[in-house]
Amino acid sequence: MPKTFHRTDRVSAQIRRELGTLVHNAVREHGLPSVSVSDVEITRDMSHAKIFVTALMAERSEEAMKGLKELAWHLRMELARAMKLRHVPELHFHYDDSVDRGERIDNLLRDLPDTVAAEKKRESNEE
């Protein structure tokens, strides 16, 4: 059975592509930390869009989010020029910490063999 695509899915994909370019340019113009648009979720009535972004430097993510929230209105106007929509949704930026969480899990898994080896060594010394 073929997968059905809803208009909101198509619009969110298009917004993600367009905003990727617009955010990249805005970051460079305003001296913000580098960010990348990771996902876009749109409400059914297409009045609001959650824009999830990841920061390349996690320690500067708060600065990046503050700057993007201040530029939301400007980015919405630029998006309206780039897309042919009757109504461009209001943009709400959210930090996507999934990359940070994945990195933390990866580090824990990488350290796991050292922990297991140390535990085995300690057990063998006790015997």
Rounded Cα gap, residues 17 and 40, in angstroms: 10
* Whether residue 110 sits in one domain with residue 74: no
The verdict on 83 and 35 lying in the same domain is yes
What one-character DSSP code corresponds to residue 127? -
Same domain, 86 and 107: no
pLDDT at 53: 92
Tell me how far apart the alpha carbons of residues 122 and 51 are, in angstroms, rounded to a whole number: 49
Contact by Cβ (8 Å): 75, 22: yes
> Which pLDDT does position 117 carry in this prediction?
63
- Give pLDDT tens digits for 28-42: 998 888 898 999 999
In a domain, 1, yes or no: no
Q: Quote the CA–CA distance of 67 and 44 in Å, as a whole number.
A: 27
pLDDT score recorded for residue 100? 76
Alpha carbon separation from 108 to 20, 58, 96, 105, 121 (Å, rounded): 31, 18, 20, 5, 20
pTM for this one? 0.74
Task: Name which residue leads in pLDDT, 19 or 109.
Answer: 19
